[in-house]
C-alpha cells in the first residue's frame, strides 16, 4: 500500500485587485514621477515607510486581510518602495531577507511586452537537481505575496514602455512580537495573548 504525504507546502498568493483603473490613478498621483527606485533613499531615512504607503495599503487592504487570515498573523507593514524599469533595466536575483512576507504590485505592466517577476523555488527538482523557476501569469493590477526569503528577479525590460511595480515587506512573527506594544497600542491584548498561546502549543523555541 502506498502512502503519500505532502510534507512541504510553500505559500504563494496571487490576487487581482478589483476596480483597478481607479486605484491605479490614485496610486500614480501619489508616486514619485521619476527615478528607478526610492528604496535606497528610504533605507537611509529614519522611517522607511514612504508617504504613498497609506494609499497602497488602502488599495490592497482586502487582499492583505486575506493573507493575514491564512498565515495567522496580522499583516504589519515593514517597508515599501517603487521600482520603475526603463528599457534594458533589471533587478538581479535577490531576496528580502528572513523578515516575513514580501509583495509585488504590478502598477504599470503590459503582459504583451513585459515579463513578470521570476521566482526560484527554495529546493532543487529531485530528478534533475536543478532549481525550478517560474513567472506567474500576472497582469496590471495583480498582487503577488511570497515568503521574503524566496529568491526572485526582475528580468531586463526589453520594451520602450516603462515597467512599474511597488514592492513591500510585512513583518514575520519575531518582528511582530518584538513590536507588539506599537502594533496593538494597548488595544486587543486578548487577541495578542491568544496568538502567543497558540504559538506556544506548536513551537518550543525562545520567547520573543
Q: How far apart are CA 75 and CA 59, in angstroms?
A: 14
- Given a contact cutoff of 8 angstroms between Cβ atoms, the answer to whether 141 and 16 are in contact is yes
So what's the pLDDT on residue 191? 63
Whether residue 206 is predicted with pLDDT greater than 60 in this model: the reply is no
So what's the pLDDT on residue 187? 57
**Residue 85: all three cell numbers together:** 524599469
DSSP state string for the chain? ------------EEEE-TTHHHHHHHHHHHS-SSSSBSHHHHHHSS----TTHHHHHHHTHHHHHHHHHHHTS---EEEEEEEEE-TT--EEEE---SSEEEEEEEEE--TTT-PPPEEEEEEE-TTT-PEEEE-----TTEEEEEETTS-EEE----SSS-EEEEEEEEE-HHHHHHTHHHHHTTS-HHHHHHHHHHHHHH--S---
- Given a contact cutoff of 8 angstroms between Cβ atoms, the answer to whether 172 and 44 are in contact is no
% pLDDT > 70, the chain: 83
Stated pTM of the model: 0.87
Confidence class for position 208, pLDDT limits 50, 70, 90: very low
Q: How far apart are CA 54 and CA 33, in angstroms?
A: 18
- Given a contact cutoff of 8 angstroms between Cβ atoms, the answer to whether 107 and 77 are in contact is no
Domains contained in the chain, CATH given: 13-171 (2.60.120.620)
Amino acid at each position: 500500500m502506498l502512502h503519500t504525504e505532502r510534507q512541504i507546502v510553500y505559500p504563494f498568493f496571487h490576487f487581482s485587485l478589483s476596480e483597478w483603473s481607479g486605484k491605479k490613478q490614485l496610486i500614480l498621483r501619489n508616486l514619485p514621477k521619476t527615478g528607478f527606485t526610492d528604496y535606497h533613499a528610504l533605507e537611509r531615512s529614519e522611517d522607511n515607510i514612504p508617504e504613498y504607503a497609506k494609499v497602497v495599503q488602502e488599495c490592497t487592504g482586502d487582499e492583505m486581510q486575506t493573507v493575514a487570515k491564512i498565515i495567522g498573523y496580522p499583516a504589519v507593514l515593514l517597508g515599501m518602495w517603487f521600482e520603475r524599469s526603463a528599457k534594458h533595466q533589471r533587478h538581479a536575483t535577490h531576496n528580502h531577507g528572513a523578515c516575513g512576507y514580501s509583495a509585488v504590485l504590478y502598477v504599470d505592466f503590459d503582459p504583451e511586452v513585459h515579463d513578470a517577476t521570476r521566482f526560484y523555488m527554495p529546493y532543487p527538482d529531485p530528478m534533475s537537481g536543478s532549481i525550478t523557476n517560474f513567472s506567474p501569469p500576472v497582469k496590471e493590477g495583480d498582487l503577488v505575496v511570497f515568503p521574503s526569503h524566496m529568491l526572485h528577479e526582475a528580468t531586463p525590460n526589453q520594451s520602450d514602455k516603462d515597467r512599474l511595480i511597488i514592492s513591500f515587506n510585512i513583518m514575520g512573527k519575531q518582528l511582530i512580537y518584538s513590536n507588539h506594544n506599537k502594533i496593538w497600542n494597548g488595544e486587543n491584548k486578548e487577541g495578542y495573548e491568544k496568538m502567543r498561546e497558540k504559538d506556544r502549543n506548536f513551537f518550543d523555541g525562545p520567547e520573543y
